[in-house]
Structure 1
Amino acid sequence: MPRKAPSITHKRSRASKPKVTTGCLTCKVRRIKCDESKPHCNRCLRTGRNCDGYAPPLPRPTAITTQPTSTIAHLPSLSAVLISLPGTPSERHSFHFFLSHTAPQLRGLFESPFWSQHVLQACLREEAIWHAAVALGAVHGRFYAEGGEGGERQMWEGEGFAIKQYVKAISCLTRRGGGERRIDVALMACVLFTCFESLRGHHAPALVHLDNGVNLLLELQSLEKPRNLITQTYPPTPYTPLSALQALLTRLDTQATQLLPSRHTRLHPVSTPPTHYETFISLEEAQRASDELWNYCLYTLQPSYPSPYLHPQPQPSHDDLAHRQASYATALTTYLTTKPPRTAREQQAGHMLRLHTLVATLSLSTTSLPASEDVWDTHTPSFAAIVDLARRIIDLDTDVDIYAPETGRVGLDTGVLGPLYLTALRCRDPMVRREAVELLKKERRREGLWDSTLLAIVAERAVGIEEGGCKSELDTGRISDVDVVFDPEGCRAGVRFLLEGGRGSVEGHRGLVLTTDLPRGQNTY
């Protein structure tokens, strides 16, 4: 990924604060002074946060065992995990960061035992997952420190350490063959590798790892295989349920499909969403239902894509999809009205669900109309609501304890970046779309495969083309599609803007194509 262009960099000034070298783990993550009360910090208790206790001194390395365990067993507390850390001092330092910063941020606003328990359990028993987590913690630590003070940056080794750990993880996977191969370990590694390369700004290899995970899932999903063979392929006592890995990889695959129009989502929906929703019992249930419904709609509405793994199934009509989405929106409104948020985290999660519901409803309302950019012209109020909700979500980052806004936000949830990018590309109101671009430009944010810096550069270029910001006879055209092509060798991407109603054709589409290269750099950040 390219570095931020100087013209769109908005450097945030940061007040000097004393370093937090002692105190509870929660206050360390929030980068505030802890009162160090035992057994739990009073500062956390007063603000309604969970205090994670205090980390003991790092111990001597211990050997990694490879015996699998059932996910039914609960992990001990974070402090107890730290006591038995294996590895070198540098590995333990990076893994500690993974535990206290990376995993909570990747978990996001909604509870996920995958990040809070299952990955940590596998790290202590599987060398591949251990080294992958260390690599991810190391690269995230450097990302985090670049938004902090100079002393923090000096605490981290160069990128070479993270890459060595990454290579070790891959080597551990390739050494296990035949009957020793564990599908759950391979899928977990695909998720971690995708996160690692994405955070480095190397999206081409990130997509390779994602596709490897998708291919493994497709083999498990195959309707041509007997049910008992699928059961035998996935371990009877896995580190994490297959459903958790399916949800994570499907979310990443959906993000990639929305970012790259030439890409097709190949993961068949695991289940068919209900035709009618009553209400929800938790934010997590509402999120799972939202993901399931959106993935179902995206898979159904995309052009037919043959798969060797799946038998053809009857496709629902557009009206059927719109009915399901309307029913979900009503059920979500009922839940959020009857269960008002008690914390900033719940408030932010509620806004996020509203935002995604608004985007899904808007997308379905335009797909039923003739293919033309004019279909977006009547939806300015919806785009304005998207920007308003996104701003509220961003403003709450400071109050949600898993984020440190001044050092950047990292996560896997589909958050505000996709909706803001859609608004910048499709909204026809100059003020609304430029407000969306400005939010993208000032945020230092990574949401799965969505990168705020990349999206800001592409969106600003698109606005310039459509509104005549670039002096060219082509600039009066409307952009019907944007295709990003990542350089497999590093942090660089090419962008093609397909203009509606021009001369010529590209891949069967009428129109003129403008191409631009995003600037080369070591990393987006």
Structure 2
Amino acid sequence: MAQETPQSIAKPKTRTNVRQSKFGCFTCRLRRVKCDEAKPICSRCRKSRRKCQGYPIGAPSNSQARRDVTVASFSLDELGRTISYSASLERNQDKSRWQALACTALAEGFVGMRTGPDVAFWTRLIPQLTHSMPCVKEAAAALGASYEHQMLRRRSSASKFSALKQITAAVKRLQDDVVLLPSGPVPVFVACVLLACAETLGHRNTDALLHLRGAFAAMSLGQVPAAKGLIPWNDETSYTFQKFDIQIASYSSGGTPPMWQSDNIEDLQDLKSRPVTIETAEKALIRYLHTCYRFTSQAAEYRYRVKATQRSCLMMEQDRHIANLTSWLSWYRRGCSSSNLESESDRLKGHVFQAQCLSALIWVSTILNPYETAYDQYAVQFQEIVEHVEQALAVNKGPSSLPIFITGIGMIQPLWLTAINYRHSKWRSKAISLLRRCGREGPWCNYVEAASTEAFVRAEEGAYLASVRRRSQTAEMPFEISPEDLSEKDRMSGCSLLEVLESGDGSKKAVVQLTKCRDMETLLANANPDDTSNWVIWYETCELVCD
């Protein structure tokens, strides 16, 4: 047998035409493909929609070998055009990474959450303005830095400081543009919206609201005739702006939508004569929701003032809003049954729209009723909300390349309303479970709302179970609690998130204010229902588990 000589032993093949690196992500190493080492997620994992499992210890903090930041090609409008947004957005690599991350995160979202105008706005206009407008560049970098710290769990003091520093730089850059509007109101509006998103990701919702109010003020200065105070609602860009407007009012029960809208909205008879399309349905619903939330912000002041003379006029207007929402719901459902919607995505959007409509219908129907038991008659609607959201989330089971963050109204508010006001333990549990799967929707945070709702339910149901034990030592504990089990005096009245506290190690806690009426009849007889002597108010601190 011939012995092998050193010359006959094959040498391992080594590629000499590429840069060698040992710091590729674990996912690419398992797949045995070349990793471009982009941070926070490499391009191969993002394009193949795989979960990037991170980088080994010692990997560079950013992709030093690749200065150009590549953003995935975004799907545009119905014309089928696409753009490839691949450029070096800034010489500063951190800013480039943050800007690319912001554009990518805003372009993604749950299936069925956006229609054509939304897709065009977030996947065309935002990247273009980020590339060309300095104020939008800085604001996009601020959003990316905040997103990286909060959503990608970069829980270090340096990461938090970088996000706050970039937000400050963006505000400073925006100050001159707000006054002069050198390129018109739209870039300023977009920059303010991006800053609001950056603030709300850090749970600073008061600061976010200030940025949004600045955005609407810029639109008023640049587009709106001062004499009439009108906003062009037929424009597709302003149509997207309306959703920020509604988000403000839906998050705060006393908040008024800042955008002015004429009361001459589309007549119900004209709507019924038109075929159902997803764009027509959403535009009509957004207008109805806008006028509805403007009404509820005014009517909320008279919820416990049953002797006020203004209530009679408010009740007449309340009936009109109930009729609008009910008619939209029946028109949409009748149209869906007679003519199939074009795609599965359209049907999923329909589930989200119906949940939003049902939520607004319940809220406006009970806004002038001081009793918590008034919600019991809407059991069917509450159950439909849970079912619609369940179907919408069923197709979003797969892992997303980035954690979900959307800016407009979505599914959290209907689920929150259900979990708080529908006193059925089974459906409450389902609503809270679905809440945790919803991601972030503007100021609504899935794990924060779930934790605060659980605190509310524990306080309400715990007090009821304790009273059952006191009444009878031998009584069995109920397996399920239904609305019939809880009388008015057993029910809580309110749940408000005060602040979210973040410790140095990245753990978070939420401070929640819980409210209960001492005696409803005494309250209604009191000329000043806001008197704190009518209420039991206490605070709970909830540990937050970031899903």
Normalised TM-score (structure 1): 0.71
The equivalent position to 1:90 in structure 2, one of 77, 94, 98, is 94
The equivalent position to 1:513 in structure 2, one of 536, 539, 547, is 536
Name the stretch that deviates more: 115-124 or 504-513: 504-513
Give secondary structure in 2 for the equivalent of 1:398: coil
Residue 184 (structure 1) aligns with:
186
Distance in 1 separating the partners of 2:445 and 2:181: 39
Q: Is the 8 A contact 1:390 1:416 kept in 2?
A: yes
Residue 340 (structure 1) aligns with:
340
Give the superposition deviation at 1:346: 2.9
Give the superposition deviation at 1:121: 1.8
Residue 259 (structure 1) aligns with:
251
Residue 480 (structure 2) aligns with:
none
Residue 409 (structure 2) aligns with:
414
Flag the 1:174–1:524 CA change in 2: closer, same or farther, 3 A: farther
Distance in 1 separating the partners of 2:361 and 2:86: 45
Residue 389 (structure 1) aligns with:
388
Q: Is the 8 A contact 2:140 2:194 kept in 1?
A: yes
Larger RCO (CA within 8 A; separation ≥ 6): 1
Give the superposition deviation at 1:82: 0.9
Q: Which amino acid aligns with 1:404?
A: S
Matched, 1:174 2:198: no
Matched, 1:268 2:269: no
Distance in 2 separating the partners of 1:359 and 1:506: 26
Distance in 2 separating the partners of 1:247 and 1:342: 22
Q: Is the 8 A contact 2:419 2:431 kept in 1?
A: yes
The equivalent position to 1:478 in structure 2, one of 459, 466, 491, is 491
Flag the 1:242–1:508 CA change in 2: closer, same or farther, 3 A: farther
Q: Is the 8 A contact 2:145 2:163 kept in 1?
A: yes
Q: Which amino acid aligns with 1:114?
A: F
Distance in 2 separating the partners of 1:413 and 1:179: 25
- Overall identity of the aligned pairs, in %: 18
Residue 310 (structure 1) aligns with:
none
Flag the 1:489–1:290 CA change in 2: closer, same or farther, 3 A: same
Matched, 1:404 2:404: no
Superposed CA deviations along residues 393-427 of structure 1, whole A, max 9, x for unmatched, are 2222136xxx718x632112322211111111111
Q: Which amino acid aligns with 1:477?
A: D
Q: Is the 8 A contact 1:275 1:324 kept in 2?
A: no
Q: Which amino acid aligns with 2:380?
A: P
1:44-443 superposed matches below 5 A: 77-79=82-84, 81-83=85-87, 85-105=89-109, 108-111=113-116, 112=118, 113-146=120-153, 158-176=159-177, 177-178=179-180, 180=182, 182-217=184-219, 225-226=226-227, 243=235, 246-270=238-262, 272-276=264-268, 277-278=271-272, 279-280=274-275, 282-303=277-298, 317-340=317-340, 343-367=343-367, 370-398=369-397, 404=400, 408-440=403-435, 442-443=436-437
Distance in 1 separating the partners of 2:197 and 2:275: 30
Q: Is the 8 A contact 2:105 2:405 kept in 1?
A: no
Q: Is the 8 A contact 1:60 1:86 kept in 2?
A: no
The equivalent position to 2:452 in structure 1, one of 441, 448, 458, is 458
Structure possessing the higher radius of gyration over alpha carbons:
2
1:6-17 superposed matches below 5 A: none
Distance in 1 separating the partners of 2:466 and 2:417: 24
Distance in 1 separating the partners of 2:193 and 2:90: 22
Superposed CA deviations along residues 350-406 of structure 1, whole A, max 9, x for unmatched, are 211222222233334434x7432121112222212211221222222136xxx718x
Residue 499 (structure 1) aligns with:
517
Flag the 1:349–1:338 CA change in 2: closer, same or farther, 3 A: same
Give secondary structure in 2 for the equivalent of 1:132: helix
The equivalent position to 1:28 in structure 2, one of 46, 55, 76, is 46
Give the superposition deviation at 1:59: 5.5
Flag the 1:156–1:332 CA change in 2: closer, same or farther, 3 A: farther
Give the superposition deviation at 1:445: 1.4
Give the superposition deviation at 1:202: 2.0
Distance in 2 separating the partners of 1:379 and 1:419: 13
Give secondary structure in 2 for the equivalent of 1:516: strand
Give secondary structure in 2 for the equivalent of 1:87: coil
Distance in 2 separating the partners of 1:226 and 1:123: 33
Flag the 1:160–1:87 CA change in 2: closer, same or farther, 3 A: farther
Distance in 2 separating the partners of 1:158 and 1:335: 50
Give secondary structure in 1 for the equivalent of 2:361: helix
Distance in 2 separating the partners of 1:459 and 1:452: 11
Distance in 1 separating the partners of 2:121 and 2:203: 24
Distance in 1 separating the partners of 2:416 and 2:197: 21
Superposed CA deviations along residues 329-349 of structure 1, whole A, max 9, x for unmatched, are 233124433553565533321
Distance in 2 separating the partners of 1:480 and 1:305: 14
Q: Is the 8 A contact 1:261 1:483 kept in 2?
A: no
Flag the 1:341–1:222 CA change in 2: closer, same or farther, 3 A: closer
Residue 36 (structure 1) aligns with:
none
Residue 443 (structure 2) aligns with:
449
Give the superposition deviation at 1:77: 4.5
Superposed CA deviations along residues 69-100 of structure 1, whole A, max 9, x for unmatched, are xxx9x998443x31363332222222222333
For structure 2, the residue ranges without an aligned partner over 5 or more in a row are 1-25, 52-64, 70-76, 302-312, 468-486
Give secondary structure in 1 for the equivalent of 2:152: helix
Give the superposition deviation at 1:430: 2.1
Superposed CA deviations along residues 19-62 of structure 1, whole A, max 9, x for unmatched, are 785799797266239xxxxxxxxxxxxxxxxxxxxxxx96669x
Give the superposition deviation at 1:207: 2.0
